[in-house]
Amino acid sequence: MKNTRNSVFDGILGDNMVLSSLMMISPVIICGDTLKNALALIFAFTSITFISMLIGSFVPKKLPYTARIIIYAAISSLVYIPVRFAAEGFYPESIERIGIYYPLLAVNSLIVLQSEAKFYRMKRSRMIGSLVFYILGFDAVMLITGFVRELFAYGTINSRIVSIDTLISGLGKPFGGFIFLGLMCGVYRCIRSAFRAKNRNMS
């Protein structure tokens, strides 16, 4: 029972899709430089991924693998249309800035590849639970990245100016995203192995 619970929560710490498998890193690197962008991306990723994967789970397994992958991508591309309509109302400025990375969220590896490899092998109720935590894992990384990069690159938090006298403007650039994510990934692994060692000692 304990193992089952652990694996459902894996998406946040044990197997975070961004920090562990480096999935969906392009939007995090390029657009995760402000909290506003992060929120707009979180909104789109969460809604598109959850709805698409739920619908995709009804696709018959009898179909050939390639056909199923194409159908999953097509479903998420269709789900993208109403999500984009809604996002233009909620985050009009961010959508403009995020540009091509917004539609790219719809063909993310969680929907296209991990769905087959992991989620659709589970029972539907368990799949939903696990999926929620994987999505939350992405959301958490996006929020942290957006917050830290905005603070140190632009000296603002959610566009409000805070007092920091030496800004590292490079942190807001794509290369800053690469380096920050790399460092975050290393720290994440360090924390994960410390947790695992602690659990091992306790058991």
Structure tokens, 149: 């990069």
- 126 vs 173 by CB, closer to another protein: 173
Q: How far apart are CA 44 and CA 195, in angstroms?
A: 31
- 44 vs 127 by CB, closer to another protein: 44
- 91 vs 101 by CB, closer to another protein: 101
- From the CB of 2, what's the least distance to another protein, in Å? 26
> Shortest CA distance to 177 belongs to which of 48, 85, 7, 41?
41
- From the CB of 176, what's the least distance to another protein, in Å? 8
- 90 vs 124 by CB, closer to another protein: 90
Q: How far apart are CA 144 and CA 9, in angstroms?
A: 19
Work out whether the CA dihedral 112, 136, 173, 23 comes out positive or negative: negative
- From the CB of 91, what's the least distance to another protein, in Å? 14
Exposure pattern of 129-154 as b/e (b: 16+ CB <10 Å)? bbbbbbbbbbbbbbbebbbbbbbbbb
- From the CB of 50, what's the least distance to another protein, in Å? 18
Bin 108: left if φ > 0, else alpha if -120 < ψ < 50, else beta. Answer: beta
DSSP letters along 123-134, please?
A: -HHHHHHHHHHH
- 58 vs 65 by CB, closer to another protein: 65
- From the CB of 39, what's the least distance to another protein, in Å? 20
Name the residues that contact another protein, by CB under 8 A: 22-26, 29-30, 66-67, 69-70, 73-74, 77-78, 80-81, 84-85, 99-101, 103-104, 106-107, 109, 112-113, 165-171, 173-179, 181-183, 185-187, 189-190, 193
